[in-house]
Structure 1
Amino acid sequence: MHFLLVLAHPLPESFACAVADTATRALEANGHSVDRLDLYAEDFDPRLSRTERSGYFDDPYDATGVGAIVDRLSAADGLILVFPQWWFNFPAILKGFFDRVFAPGIAFTHDAAGGRIIRKLTNIRLLHAYTTTGSPWWIARLVMGDPVRRLLRRGIAPFCAKGVDFQMLSLHDMDRATDARRRAHLDRIARRLHRIGPLNAIVNVNARTLP
């Protein structure tokens, strides 16, 4: 399989970068290929432009401003997201990635009758998110309702394809995490990614689990 790994953290020495490195090594060790998109290092502009917004319902939609990234996403079989949660949400640069790249004609098309949207990014069969929070797990889940997981699982992953394999793994209470906890989290990520088989195996599993 070919993966697009999207990293959203401004510091090259961050734990998020260690996660991205771990994920890349685990996937490549299993024979997969990885295209690493470091949003900060590549100076991605997260702002939806005036032209992009005013033409949002044009057919065809003009995505030339992010055309190179669209090509990289379209070439992938799986999408790996690596990011911290800030204020129980995506970093602004990652939210901008969704705003600008998961656009009409790329991730979905508008139903001519209005209302619903039609999935278009059907090449993506697997979406994993590896993230951290500064708060303990019970605040993120019980108090806040785990908003990032809900947004990805219910609002973004379904745009990719029906039956997409979505998984999310978070390291909570990151500000107080020991070296041992961080190493254990990296090991969990590596083990999870080592279990990913070839593309046809994922498709067949999803086919058996769909109604």
Structure 2
Amino acid sequence: MTTTLIIDHPWKESFNHGVLNKLVAGLEQDQKIYQVIDLNKDGFNPVMCEEELAGYQSGSVLDPLVLHYMNLLRETSQLVLIFPIWWYSSPASLKGFLDKVLLNEFAFFDGGNGIQPLLSVDSVVVFTTSDQPTEGLEKRCTRSYKHQLTTTLEDIGMRNITWHHLGSVKNLTDEERQEYLESVYSKI
């Protein structure tokens, strides 16, 4: 079982990176196989150019980093996504990852009769954070964004999707932050 962790946050000292570091520490302690995709560190370009769009339906790929990500996903049995909620959605790099990596004939097949999943991932765990309180964010976006992302992941063959959101991060005490970080590994 290979766990693939994808993080989309540009600052390595962020709370999101703290979540990543705790997960990696737990995986290493338990001697589990894992791989990390750090979209910002990798310099991933989330913008789909005209040439990439032209090959989208056939599943052709121009970016070697996209091919690398596809190969990592082929080995994945558990996917962990870590990102902040900015402007009621994920950062641009994660959206671009979904657009550019989850291609027809790789992640799904669409022959005109609806999407058929091609990936097989046993579980997905999503960790999100925000400076807004969770309750307010849920009223404004989290339910719709969560539904949209979950539907996308299910459509390509990912199952058992759980979501853990921590709101009001900027208002938490150091003790509350540490308590949350100590709990994240038990959630995967």
Distance 1:151 1:185 in 2: 26
Equivalent position SS for 1:104: coil
Aligned to 1:135: 132
Deviation at 1:191, TM superposition (A): 1.9
Distance 2:74 2:40 in 1: 21
Task: Trace 1:1-211 onto structure 2 (pairs within 5 A).
Answer: 1-58=1-58, 61-65=59-63, 66-111=66-111, 114-122=112-120, 124-161=121-158, 164-193=159-188
TM-score of the two chains, using structure 2 as the length reference: 0.92
TM-score of the two chains, using structure 1 as the length reference: 0.82
Deviation at 1:64, TM superposition (A): 4.0
Letter of the 1:136 partner, please give it: P
Q: Conserved in 1, the CA contact under 8 Å of 2:134 and 2:168?
A: yes
Closer, same or farther: CA 192–48 of 1 in aligned 2, 3 Å? same
Could you report, residue by residue, the CA deviation over 1:52-106 in whole angstroms, capped at 9, with x for unpaired residues?
2122223xx2124211111111111111111111011010011101010111122
Q: Conserved in 1, the CA contact under 8 Å of 2:88 and 2:142?
A: no
- Gapped runs of 5+ residues in structure 1? 194-211
Q: Conserved in 1, the CA contact under 8 Å of 2:7 and 2:37?
A: yes
| TM superposition outliers: structure 1 runs of 4+ over 3 Å | none
**Aligned residues with identical type, % of pairs:** 25
Distance 1:158 1:27 in 2: 28
Distance 1:97 1:57 in 2: 16
Could you report, residue by residue, the CA deviation over 1:156-200 in whole angstroms, capped at 9, with x for unpaired residues?
234224xx111111110112122122112112212223xxxxxxx
Distance 1:170 1:44 in 2: 25
Equivalent position SS for 2:68: helix
Letter of the 1:50 partner, please give it: E
Equivalent position SS for 1:43: coil
Q: Which moved more, 1:48-57 or 1:139-148?
A: 139-148
Letter of the 2:161 partner, please give it: F
Distance 1:8 1:29 in 2: 24
Aligned to 1:208: none
- Gapped runs of 5+ residues in structure 2? none
Q: Conserved in 2, the CA contact under 8 Å of 1:110 and 1:118?
A: yes
